[in-house]
Amino acid sequence: MRGLLTSTTRLMFFATELAVRRAIVSLERGPFSRWRWPGATPERLVIAPQDIRTADPTIAADIYAGVFAFAGKVIETSGRSPFDLEAPSECWARQLHSFGWLRHLRAADNALARQNARALVADWINQEAKAPPLAFATEILAQRVIAWVTQSPLILEEADRGFYRRFVRSLVRQVRRLRIRFFDAPDGYPRLIAAIAVAEFALSVEGQQRLIRQASQRLEQELVRQVLPDGGHVSRQPGVIVDILTELLPLRQAYATRGVTPPAALVSSIDRMMPMLRFFRHADGHFAHFNGMGASQADQLATLHAYDDTRGVPVQNASHSGYQRLDAAGTVVLMDTGAIPPLGVSQHAHAGCLSFEMSSGGHRFIINCGSSLEPRWRDAARSTPAHSTLVLEDASSASFLDSGRLARRIGTVMPSGARQVLVKREDRAEGTVVAARHDGYAAAFAAQHERSLTLSADGAEILGTDRVLMAGRSARQDRFAIRFHLHPSIRATRTAGGDVLLLAPDGEAWTFSCPMIPPELEDSVYLSDVHGRRKTLQIVLPGRARVTPEVHWTLSRTALGQRSRASKPREAVAGVKDLFEL
């Protein structure tokens, strides 16, 4: 009951804050507003910041043919403007109106692509007044401003004076809308990308020194507020780090090109976030699937790594972001040890506290299911059973606001979940130990989940322990399942001794063993693949907390034909129990 009241209170405060922000914005847009453009209205662009996203010139040919393929949906325009057609999905419409696809036309580098780009931008300007509300959502609006500014050489080369003026005036209108609606924007990345877009525009046009100062100040405020001391983002989304760096690196160069000193927070944020790229990266180069991270764009990650001047060992203890990394001899274990993020930035957060992913060599073995753009699969991916962790009574350790009028107003936020996560880490000669405990199940089941992972110094063995701490003996809801989702490329077979043999495509093998509960193999799904959903398997250890409150298991690198060491976990965990008493 206490947890429910706390969640309701959080939602009420957040909804009130949102209503106040919108009231302020309404006043700023009203007839009594004295807001105006800071200085003369810009007439000309003087620089075009670089777009460091990778581009595919073959997509330019599809766009010229009237084929627009976004978010798994394809529309053939048959000579009509894509902005006059009904969008097959919201995700498709978001990508269309964000104009990120302009970079593919620029990659084609020919007169036909330039003409096509100019025609499509002109189509949007002509229907700007009747564009759907989605086109003016803060994040989409900011992305469109950035795309138009960075791709302005493509759009404006060989353009006549009339189109040039219409283009700049449309940009001014959109930037004005961004500035007015800034505090009405959803918190987190949408508000930050809006600040980046205004700063990039201010640097790209002539005679806007006052706007540059104002935009730089707002950008610095958002970076200080959103980028954590260890380089993570306040939303705890690993993918947001990639998105932010992709925009900040060209912006830093734009400041240098214009001879303007960049905000100190911009430089320090880049320096802190760069190591986090290595932190979340698995042995095969892909990002771990925590809190909304989908399919990794290997080419984009490679581009960002090229800007990394340090290239040192990744940080191991990202305590501010709520993650731990264990790394030894090519074996990587990443663990979510963080509480739920602030309510306003929890729209994409997952109930995956104490879940982990494991990779070795060039393969991921243990994963989380990932994320999806489809609403049905997106909701399932956010639940605890979609993560490699312990699930109590098949319920999530966090709740989601996924329906109703309030959800439509403030988004699918996470009002309750793990608020207190106790974490202890110890680096020993024989290996690294991380133990953590969360209270996500305290309100519903009067229980806590505790997990400890030990990675041996040679990277050949992972010793795990999962405990369910029940507050009362009378509790009947004590069924649990410890889930280990496998990557689709991993073959899983039972051994004669009851263990599970995990075999990678190159022959590397690991054995999963549990001396207390016979491992079961069940179906699972991998959602974060570039080819869509893929069927895979999961190892499941089912039990009851009153019967088996503590479960020990082992993952060990195995030469084919070698027997696993199922008794090892009990011996290794003796020192782990003391971590919470340090």
Q: What is the pLDDT of residues 436-469, one digit of tens each?
A: 999 999 999 999 999 999 999 999 999 999 999 9
Confidence category of residue 564, pLDDT binned at 50, 70, 90: very low
- List, as one string, the DSSP characters of 400-426: ---SSHHHHHH-S---BS---EEEEEE
Judgement on whether residues 486 and 539 belong to the same structural domain of the protein = yes
Q: Which of 156, 180, 204 is the last residue of a domain?
A: 180
Residue 317 lies in a domain: no
Confidence category of residue 24, pLDDT binned at 50, 70, 90: very low
Is 70 exceeded by the pLDDT of residue 136?
yes
Is 80 exceeded by the pLDDT of residue 476?
no
Contact (CB, 8 A) for 291 and 350: yes
Distance (Å) of CA 314 to CA 288, 334, 384: 14, 12, 28
171-192 confidence digits (pLDDT tens): 999 999 999 988 888 899 999 9
Contact (CB, 8 A) for 513 and 494: no
Distance CA 29, CA 218 (A): 19
Question: What is the total residue count of the chain?
Answer: 582
Residue 510 lies in a domain: yes
Distance CA 245, CA 271 (A): 10
The label of the residue with tokens 């990443």 reads 334
What single DSSP character describes residue 39?
A: S
Residue 388 lies in a domain: yes
Judgement on whether residues 414 and 374 belong to the same structural domain of the protein = yes
Average pLDDT, integer, range 118-123? 96
Strand partners, 538: 485, 522
The b/e string for 278-291 (b: 16+ C-beta within 10 A; e otherwise) is bbbbbbbebbbbbb
Which CATH number does the domain housing residue 523 bear? 2.70.98.70
Judgement on whether residues 124 and 176 belong to the same structural domain of the protein = yes
**CA quadruple 160, 166, 170, 176: dihedral, nearest 10:** 110
Is 80 exceeded by the pLDDT of residue 573?
no
Paired sense of beta strands 534-544 and 520-526, if any: antiparallel
Distance CA 243, CA 193 (A): 9
The label of the residue with tokens 């806590």 reads 448
Average pLDDT, integer, range 327-334? 95
Residue 51 lies in a domain: yes
25-41 confidence digits (pLDDT tens): 444 444 434 445 676 77
Judgement on whether residues 358 and 507 belong to the same structural domain of the protein = yes
Judgement on whether residues 404 and 332 belong to the same structural domain of the protein = yes
Return the pLDDT at 459.
96
**CA quadruple 482, 488, 494, 498: dihedral, nearest 10:** -20
Judgement on whether residues 348 and 490 belong to the same structural domain of the protein = yes
Judgement on whether residues 430 and 574 belong to the same structural domain of the protein = yes
Is 60 exceeded by the pLDDT of residue 569?
no
Mean per-residue pLDDT of the chain: 88
Judgement on whether residues 168 and 306 belong to the same structural domain of the protein = no
Judgement on whether residues 473 and 563 belong to the same structural domain of the protein = yes
Residue 441: domain span: 322-581
Judgement on whether residues 26 and 161 belong to the same structural domain of the protein = no
The mean-pLDDT minimum among 51-55, 311-315, 535-539 falls in: 311-315
- The structure's pTM equals 0.89
Judgement on whether residues 61 and 2 belong to the same structural domain of the protein = no
Is 70 exceeded by the pLDDT of residue 404?
no
What percent of the chain shows pLDDT beyond 90?
73
The mean-pLDDT minimum among 197-206, 235-244, 399-408 falls in: 399-408
Residue 160 lies in a domain: yes
Q: Which of 151, 180, 209 is the last residue of a domain?
A: 180
Confidence category of residue 159, pLDDT binned at 50, 70, 90: very high
The b/e string for 212-246 (b: 16+ C-beta within 10 A; e otherwise) is bebbbebbbebbeebbbebbbbbbbbbbbbbbbbb
Distance CA 143, CA 390 (A): 39
Judgement on whether residues 29 and 109 belong to the same structural domain of the protein = no
Return the pLDDT at 294.
83
Is 70 exceeded by the pLDDT of residue 110?
yes
Distance CA 417, CA 345 (A): 14
Kind plus residue range of the DSSP H or E element containing 359 = strand 356-360
The SS3 call for residue 109 is coil
Count of structural domains, the chain: 4
